[in-house]
Structure 1
Amino acid sequence: MNEQDLRRLMTVSVEDVLPSQPAAAGWDRARRRRRTRRVVGVVAVAVALVGGGTVVALRPPGPPPNHSVAPTPTVVPTHAEPVQRPPAELTFPPDPLARLGGPATVPLSERPVQRALALFQPTDEENRADGPVRVLGNDGVVRSLDVVTLTPTRDASGNEAPAVKPGVLSPDGKSAAFAQPGELIMVDLTTAAVRRIPLFGYLEMVVWANDRVLVGAEDRTYAVDRVTGAASTIDVSIWVVAAPDPEAGREAALIELIGERDGLKLRSRTAREATIRSEERITGGGLPAPYQINEFYGRGWLHGGRLASAAWITSGEIDGAEGAAVLDARTGAVAHLLDLGRERSKGCCEVLGWDNKGAVLLRMEPAALARWNPETGEITGIIRDLRGVIAVAG
């Protein structure tokens, strides 16, 4: 028997002997089984991964999984009809301008404003000034304009009107300019300082045109530098020129609304020399028949590429109804028309400007002051039944 046969014989004989510590041997066998299972599990996972990788590698590429968050739906603004009408009853949500309805509590000389939101001149039933001019500051306090005594404007025929008119308050709300017979009065509302600039003639209307103030009457218009006070005549009508957009800059064109009915035109002039640049026929092709604009009245107001003005219109009920229009300031196309109906006094509803959200501010009996959003058609009241003349900042 060689050494190899002897080793094999010893191994067989040992396997037949039962262990002397059964529990320890059982735990040892259990550990070996657990190790075996772990090894088998690892091998199975590895095989699965390799197989899966092979399948992925062989599968044609597809779109990556989408783990993005669902997008928020876009709210598309509602565009109102070209012709709109006010509701039967206006709502009056809280508004800073509503404070104009209250009396002044302090003189401007004692407490100048940081910025004025609006001016208000109370009037009586004959449209004559009836009490001091109110100055509403951005702090909500109503002041009385006590630093100057204003006289009514008048023309050569003796017709009078209050000195406060739409357009007298600067767009930044820091100054006011008043046409007076033979002079222009400028008031710095932040210091209560008054400056008088002598000018010839019966002056009636004022409009702020960036770095200048345009002031005049039927026969002439002056352009007054708001810093130096230097004045020169300018070939533009103070009655039909629109108030420029304060964001447009000093070289923005001056726009006039001229003519009647089929002869209505939008005339563009250069800002400094007032040279005519173009004339566009005002068209209402987007309005349903028989709507059309007969004539504009009051001050027009520019806001970006849009121009708003009060107008007399032809509606489905009457020729000569009260209305307000928004035009494209470049082409003269009428974009929106507000039909205010026939049950209103003539010239009731002058446009006073735009707010910073693109809504038109206008007089509207019996609301006195209302806000119209031509893009949505929403109309809300601001001040209820306030008799007088209001000028708002741009």
Structure 2
Amino acid sequence: MKEEDLTRLLTVATEDIRPAHPASAGWERARRTRRNRRAGAAAVAVVLLTGGTAVALRPADRPSPITPATPTASPVPSAAPVQRPPDQLTYPGDPLGRLGDPVSASLSARPVRQALALYQPVDPGTGVEGRIRVLGDDGLVRDLDVVTLARTRDADGNAAVPLKSSSLSPDGRTAAFAQTDEVIVVDLTTATVRRYPLKGYLEHVFWSGDRLFVGDNDTAYEVDRVTGTSREAPVSPWDVVSPDPSVRTDTVLTVGGAPESLTLGRYAWSAASTHLDSWALDFRALPSGNRVDEFYGRGWQRGDQVARAGWLTTGSMSGLEGVAVLNAETGVVTRLLDLGRDRWKACCEVLGWDRDGAVLLRHDPGGLLRWQPSTGAVTGVVRDLYGEVSLAAG
């Protein structure tokens, strides 16, 4: 009889032999199964000693494949904390790209259902501004013909165009414009105008949900649009963050401060008291030598993130234009977008967030960019758009 026939007979003879210690045999079998699953190797042959004779058993069945309870996606590498745009931008197409289209109707004749943006063109050579335009969600550009707006000015006579980056309400239905001694509110869905008297050289205007804030150089006021009354808000009009419009909040965030002492603040107030928490901004999540030196423009919140433009230091180079993203709860700065030097001063103001978590910002000269901090992707939105823009984005 051949050796392989003898092996087959002995295998059959031993199949019904029960192990002398079932519990220990079970644990050993489980241990082997776990080992085999981790290693991914085929099952090994088992050697059984019976009456001092070594008998080779048939190979054990392979363990059944393990099916995860839920599918798992491949991990996406984390984007670098300090990012830069590509040398050549792509423009994949965007509804906001129609901001530069010519005016095709007046607001009084064709009010909007919702505005995507407001745009006030400014001649880059002369600095002369044109009339404010309204881009509706139907893609048509309208002339804001229902009101004549003057430039804002401060107590020293410095003037600026009336459209501000936060003039348009988050729902795109209302626009507010600070003017000396009043704030003007336009219902874009009905083309109607209301005026609220408020003393001062008013320059700032911003929305917190349906609440309207107006400010002069030093003071911010909350305006009740039903009664027309106002109360002072204990926040800096320069540093107030436009909140996430999807979250109802009674607190107001600020991001700013003097160079070397930048802070995140959280304010809540009532007629009786004011409560403030504040934290110094934390740059330790960035590579050594990277920080924000000073902020400018409006800050914008989305979820637990705030984006604001500023002047940066990256490595050993300072005075760079850029944008910072920080945690709204802790003040930790998590991302920087380095836009370089040799640009117009304060070129790159943040205009808000889109629904996909991308930051929308101005880009010198004359354009808009979309930056996705989580991936580092930077794409163009529209070219050659000189002037001021306000988006229905928060």
Could you list the structure 1 runs, at least 4 aligned residues long, displaced by more than 4 angstroms after superposition: 58-73, 126-129, 271-274
Give the conservation status (yes or no) of the 8 Å contact 1:267–1:280. yes
**1:291–1:169 CA distance, 2 compared to 1 (3 A):** same
Write the distance in 2 (CA, Å) between the matches of 1:254 and 1:126: 38
Query: Are 1:269 and 2:246 matched, yes or no?
Result: no
Give how far 1:342 is off.
1.3
Question: Which structure 2 residues correspond to residues 15-94 of structure 1 after superposition, within 5 A?
Answer: 74-94=73-93
TM, length-normalised to structure 2:
0.80
Give the partner amino acid of 1:309.
Answer: R
Write the distance in 2 (CA, Å) between the matches of 1:362 and 1:71: 38
Give the partner amino acid of 1:386.
Answer: L
Question: Which structure 2 residues correspond to residues 135-174 of structure 1 after superposition, within 5 A?
Answer: 135-174=134-173
Query: Are 1:308 and 2:307 matched, yes or no?
Result: yes
What secondary structure sits across from 2:123 in the alignment?
Answer: coil
2:252 match: 254
Give how far 1:276 is off.
3.6
**1:315–1:187 CA distance, 2 compared to 1 (3 A):** same
Question: Which structure 2 residues correspond to residues 236-385 of structure 1 after superposition, within 5 A?
Answer: 236-251=235-250, 253-270=251-268, 275-316=274-315, 318-366=317-365, 368-385=367-384
Greater helix proportion: 1
Give the partner amino acid of 2:257.
Answer: G
What secondary structure sits across from 1:92 in the alignment?
Answer: coil
Give the conservation status (yes or no) of the 8 Å contact 1:211–1:225. no
Alignment deviations for residues 292-345 of structure 1 (CA, whole Å, 9 cap, x no partner)? 111111100011111100011112352211110000011111010011111212
Give the conservation status (yes or no) of the 8 Å contact 2:269–2:275. no
Q: Which runs of 5+ in 2 are unaligned?
A: 1-15, 34-62
Give the conservation status (yes or no) of the 8 Å contact 2:366–2:386. no
Query: Are 1:209 and 2:208 matched, yes or no?
Result: yes
Query: What is the aligned residue count?
Result: 339
What secondary structure sits across from 1:363 in the alignment?
Answer: strand
What secondary structure sits across from 1:262 in the alignment?
Answer: coil
Greater strand proportion: 2
**1:70–1:265 CA distance, 2 compared to 1 (3 A):** closer
Write the distance in 2 (CA, Å) between the matches of 1:369 and 1:164: 17
Write the distance in 2 (CA, Å) between the matches of 1:84 and 1:67: 40
Write the distance in 2 (CA, Å) between the matches of 1:283 and 1:67: 44
Write the distance in 1 (CA, Å) between the matches of 2:67 and 2:360: 44
2:232 match: 233
Give how far 1:367 is off.
5.6
Write the distance in 2 (CA, Å) between the matches of 1:86 and 1:130: 29
What secondary structure sits across from 2:113 in the alignment?
Answer: coil
Give how far 1:128 is off.
4.3
1:11 match: none
What secondary structure sits across from 1:99 in the alignment?
Answer: helix
Give the conservation status (yes or no) of the 8 Å contact 1:182–1:202. yes
Alignment deviations for residues 41-91 of structure 1 (CA, whole Å, 9 cap, x no partner)? xxxxxxxxxxxxxx9xx9999999669799755143332110001111110
Give the conservation status (yes or no) of the 8 Å contact 1:117–1:137. yes
Give the conservation status (yes or no) of the 8 Å contact 1:128–1:161. no
Alignment deviations for residues 254-284 of structure 1 (CA, whole Å, 9 cap, x no partner)? 1112323431111110165682421101011
Q: Which moved more, 1:91-100 or 1:343-352?
A: 343-352
What secondary structure sits across from 2:381 in the alignment?
Answer: strand
Give the conservation status (yes or no) of the 8 Å contact 2:129–2:161. no
**1:125–1:67 CA distance, 2 compared to 1 (3 A):** closer
1:190 match: 189
Give the conservation status (yes or no) of the 8 Å contact 1:78–1:375. no
Alignment deviations for residues 150-173 of structure 1 (CA, whole Å, 9 cap, x no partner)? 110001111110100100000000
Q: Which moved more, 1:216-225 or 1:61-70?
A: 61-70
Write the distance in 2 (CA, Å) between the matches of 1:146 and 1:124: 20
Write the distance in 1 (CA, Å) between the matches of 2:167 and 2:118: 9
**1:74–1:375 CA distance, 2 compared to 1 (3 A):** same
**1:271–1:344 CA distance, 2 compared to 1 (3 A):** farther
Give the conservation status (yes or no) of the 8 Å contact 2:365–2:386. no
RMSD of equivalent CA atoms: 2.5
Q: Which moved more, 1:231-240 or 1:355-364?
A: 231-240
1:386 match: 385
Identity %: 50
What secondary structure sits across from 2:147 in the alignment?
Answer: coil
Q: Look at both structures and tell me which one has the larger radius of gyration over its CA atoms.
A: 1
Give how far 1:368 is off.
1.3
Give the conservation status (yes or no) of the 8 Å contact 1:367–1:382. no
Give how far 1:137 is off.
0.6
**1:219–1:382 CA distance, 2 compared to 1 (3 A):** same
Give how far 1:132 is off.
1.6
Give the conservation status (yes or no) of the 8 Å contact 2:289–2:316. no
**1:304–1:68 CA distance, 2 compared to 1 (3 A):** closer
